[in-house]
Amino acid sequence: MILCCGEALIDMLPRDTTLGEKGFAPYAGGAIFNTAIALGRLGIPTAFFTGIADDMMGEILLETLKASNVDYSPCAITSRPSTIAFVKLVNGQATYAFYDEGTAGRMITTADLPILGDDCEALHFGAISLIPSPCGETYEALLDREAARRVISLDPNIRPGFIKDKPSHMARIKRMAAKADIVKFSDEDLEWFGLQGDHDALAAHWLNHGAKLVVITKGAEGASGYTKDRKVTVPSERVTVVDTVGAGDTFDAGILASLKMDNLLTKAQVASLDEQALRNALALGAKAAAVTVSRAGANPPWAKEIGL
């Protein structure tokens, strides 16, 4: 089982009403939530951990998880409100107005952390859930607790507009990346860290600081995966892009799903992937993400849609 740990929220997406007026409609979202949904749809045993409100928006989140075969029993259900993000789309690119003060997801503490059984092989972290307090500290504490015996996956998924204290957030990501087995960056993420050099040099930097597999996605230019012994690059799938919402989240799911299906989801095996296993993981990430960008919103593919 893979446990995805991070934000679940309601995206209020712009829609025209039946009267022709401008309005918004609620959709379940959040980067780590999207990865959990994608994994569940790919047939991978998946669970999800965050704080979820016991309101109508929380019901949407739980129903969406259930419909995609994701176990939400680790979640902390509380009477705090749901996180809401109003979304503006311009040429397929999303910008957000975010409402997160005192919410169920933001206010989780170490007292809410789930007890994990031996069936949990990996944990996935990242995105905006690592920024605020107390949830940022809570997820980091969970990573610290589990890193010695389970595969840790991290996607920093940097959103500069949400980060008020860059040095503090950068320090957290560096601490977590040093304990992670798999770290995935977009080229935009790498720019935020301010490191100099080409992608090969930047991947080497993160490998030298503790990661066992570094993946760098480059949009239409494909993606590269690096271990201490090798580099593999795969092209992106050619599709008509509707929007990019959830693309990186789905790519994360493809990597983890491939490793799980190839029985490689252990710390030792991730550290010593051969070329074919690494290529398989990147290719599935690219294939799944291509479906997501070809349709509106974060709507990852089901296994049968990509021939699994």
> pLDDT by residue (tens digit) across 84-131?
988 887 776 667 788 999 999 999 999 999 999 999 999 999 989 999
Task: Quickly name the fold that domain 2-299 has.
Answer: UDP-N-acetylmuramoyl-L-alanine:D-glutamate ligase (3.40.1190)
Q: What is the CA radius of gyration of the chain?
A: 18
Say if strands 46-49 and 9-16 run parallel, antiparallel, or are unpaired: unpaired
The string of DSSP letters for 267-282 reads HHHHHT--HHHHHHHH
Domain boundaries, the chain: 2-299
3-state secondary structure of 210: coil
Residue 99: Cβ within 10 Å count = 16
**Per-residue pLDDT at 92:** 61
Tell me the C-alpha distance between 260 and 121, whole Å: 9
Tell me the C-alpha distance between 205 and 194, whole Å: 12
**How would you list the strands of the sheet with 22-29, edge to edge?**
22-29, 9-16, 84-90, 93-99
**Per-residue pLDDT at 289:** 94
Query: DSSP character for 246?
Result: T
In tens digits, the chain (308 residues) has pLDDT values of 999 999 999 988 888 888 888 888 899 999 999 999 999 999 999 999 999 999 999 999 999 999 999 999 999 999 999 999 888 877 766 677 889 999 999 999 999 999 999 999 999 999 899 999 999 999 999 999 999 999 999 999 999 988 999 999 999 999 999 999 999 999 889 999 988 789 999 999 999 999 999 999 988 889 999 999 999 999 988 898 887 788 999 999 999 999 999 999 999 999 999 999 999 999 999 999 999 989 887 899 999 999 88
